[in-house]
Amino acid sequence: MEKKLNNLVFDRKISKKFLNFLRNRDRYIVDFCKGKKVLHIGATDWPYTKERYKRGDLLYLRIGKVAVEQIGLDLSKDGSNFLNEKQVQNSKIMVCDMNDAQELNFTPDVIILGETLEHLMNLENVLKSLKKIMNEKTELLITVPNAFYSINFFFSLFRKEHQHPDHNVAFTHKTLIKLLKKNNFNVKDFYFTFLEVSLDKKLMNLKGKFMCDIVLLMSRISPVFSETLMVIAKK
């Protein structure tokens, strides 16, 4: 047993290169898509589509205002039909599995895969499918929930796990980067960040606002406690 323990390798530090903290994921993504052709996977955010469209904070809606062209892919017929009826600027949505994306005859400058990877099972097949529609300049922007998020630790103190019921995978900084590198992606940038809806204090009560301030303070001290991981990679 002692011999086996001695052979284990521990990553004691997180690379300073990837210790970047961004307060607002959504604002960064919108700015990143300016003037570009965007393939937006999981674009409807169903079942919250209508609510978020009405509030004006739906990411698909905001990207459409700044992108040259945006094609959304989603499995939700209801969400897709609703957004296509609204005729979002420079955008259209197709009910399509991301594994069939290569049939679109569309080479994007940016692929947005936001809060989706954690719902899937065969991650290697998904990344292979995305690579088929990428060229050397295409940038893949992935965001996933952070397994080390401070709220998760809070719930664990009470022997509970704070996870979405449809999540099949939990990611850390290291595991997300390793997944991409093992599938021959070049990791360009990495950020610890928060979803904008989590920062919107208009939607919170007094207790929620206080908790948000505490969580943000912890993440500024140590980004590892942030809500979301965001990585930008190329082929």
Residue 202 has pLDDT above 70, yes or no: no
pLDDT band at 218 (very low <50, low <70, confident <90, very high): confident
Classify residue 79: in a domain, yes or no.
yes
Classify residue 21: in a domain, yes or no.
yes
Residue 3 has pLDDT above 60, yes or no: no
Name the one residue in this structure whose structure tokens are 């948000």: 212
The amino acid at 134? M
The amino acid at 20? N
Classify residue 212: in a domain, yes or no.
no
What is the per-residue pLDDT for 146?
A: 94
Classify residue 99: in a domain, yes or no.
yes
Domain count, the chain: 1
Name 140's bridge partners. 111, 233
Identify the three-state secondary structure at position 180.
helix
What is the per-residue pLDDT for 206?
A: 64
Report how far residue 46's alpha carbon sits from residue 73's, in angstroms, rounded to the nearest whole number: 12
Query: Which domain, by its residues, includes 110?
Result: 16-148+167-197+228-234
Higher per-residue confidence, 15 vs 220 = 220
What is the per-residue pLDDT for 161?
A: 66
Classify residue 69: in a domain, yes or no.
yes
- pTM, two decimals, is 0.86
Report how far residue 136's alpha carbon sits from residue 109's, in angstroms, rounded to the nearest whole number: 10
Classify residue 109: in a domain, yes or no.
yes
CATH number reported for the structural domain that contains residue 78 in this entry: 3.40.50.150
Question: In degrees to the nearest 10, what's the CA dihedral of 173, 178, 180, 184?
Answer: 150
pLDDT in tens, 104-159: 888 999 999 999 899 888 899 999 989 999 999 999 999 999 999 888 777 667 67
Mean residue pLDDT of the chain comes to 86
How many residues are listed for the chain in this entry? Answer: 235
Report how far residue 49's alpha carbon sits from residue 79's, in angstroms, rounded to the nearest whole number: 6
Percent of the chain whose predicted confidence (pLDDT) is above 90: 57
Task: List alpha helices for the chain, DSSP H.
Answer: 2-7, 25-32, 49-55, 59-64, 77-86, 123-132, 150-156, 173-182, 196-199, 206-221
What is the per-residue pLDDT for 203?
A: 60
